[in-house]
Amino acid sequence: MLGPPSPGSVDFVNSRQGTIRVVLLARMLELMGDEQPQFGILIHRPVQDVWDYVMAIERTHEWRPRMSNVEWLDGGDHALGSRFRLHAKVLFYTFKFDFEVSRWEPPHWLGYRQATGPFAIDSHMQFVEENGGCRFNIGGNPQANTLIARLVEPLMWGSLAKQNRDDLIRLKQIMESGADREIS
């Protein structure tokens, strides 16, 4: 049985199994089954602050450095059906993704998906009030669409797990230090 998480730890959450720390990729995949993996971290800032910073997607590179050229493709207010684009480095290759918002519930939930390209992706970001702060969860379910993508998929899972953990720790540091208020 794992003890309480250490400060700054990132949790892997599986609704059937409870919350466990990310330790080994093989164990994570075994526990995951058919459910979407989810990573979360408690940020000591209000939900609205975290939502506002994360939804300023042109600043995504500040807390997710493997992502670049992130932009909304639709002008005006963002809503269900809005689209955005990003470039993400996974392993040794940079992929371009065009996503469509599949669930939009500000300031608590963003769901987005892409069906084309080497990976079909159904992902989400969840913002939950917890202990006066925000439990920020990210999760998703990429599915390989091509033979090459299927071959690198096992390596990709390990890389993504580490990157997501590091991204959440970086987001927590930015938000709790107030660096999100600085103009980039």
Q: Which domains does the chain have, with CATH numbers?
A: 47-176 (3.30.530.20)
Say how far residue 35 (Cα) sits from the centre of its chain: 15
**Stretch among 27-41, 110-124, 169-183 having the lowest mean pLDDT:** 27-41
**pLDDT bucket at 19, cuts 50 / 70 / 90:** very low
Calculate mean pLDDT across residues 26-33. Answer: 42
Question: What values do phi and psi take at 122, rounded to 5?
Answer: -125, 110
89: nearest Cα among 81, 100, 97: 97
**Residue predicted with more confidence, 112 or 34:** 112
The whole-number pLDDT of residue 2 equals 40
The whole-number pLDDT of residue 130 equals 96
Query: What is the rounded distance in angstroms from the CA atom of residue 135 to the CA atom of residue 129?
Result: 6
* Share of residues in the chain with pLDDT > 90 (%): 49
pLDDT at residue 116 is higher than 80: no
Beta bridge partners of 137: 40, 126
* The overall pTM is greater than 0.85: no
Calculated CA dihedral for residues 162, 168, 170, 175, nearest 10 degrees = 180
DSSP track, 106-164: TTTEEEEEE-SSSEEEEEEEEEEEETTEEEEEEEE--EE-SHHHHHHHHHHHHHHHHHH
- 74-88 residue pLDDT tens: 877 899 999 999 998
* Share of residues in the chain with pLDDT > 70 (%): 76
The whole-number pLDDT of residue 28 equals 42
The whole-number pLDDT of residue 14 equals 44
Inter-residue contact 144 to 157 (CB < 8 Å): no
The whole-number pLDDT of residue 147 equals 78
pLDDT at residue 22 is higher than 60: no
The whole-number pLDDT of residue 158 equals 73
- 35-70 residue pLDDT tens: 556 889 999 999 999 999 999 999 999 999 999 999
pLDDT at residue 5 is higher than 50: no
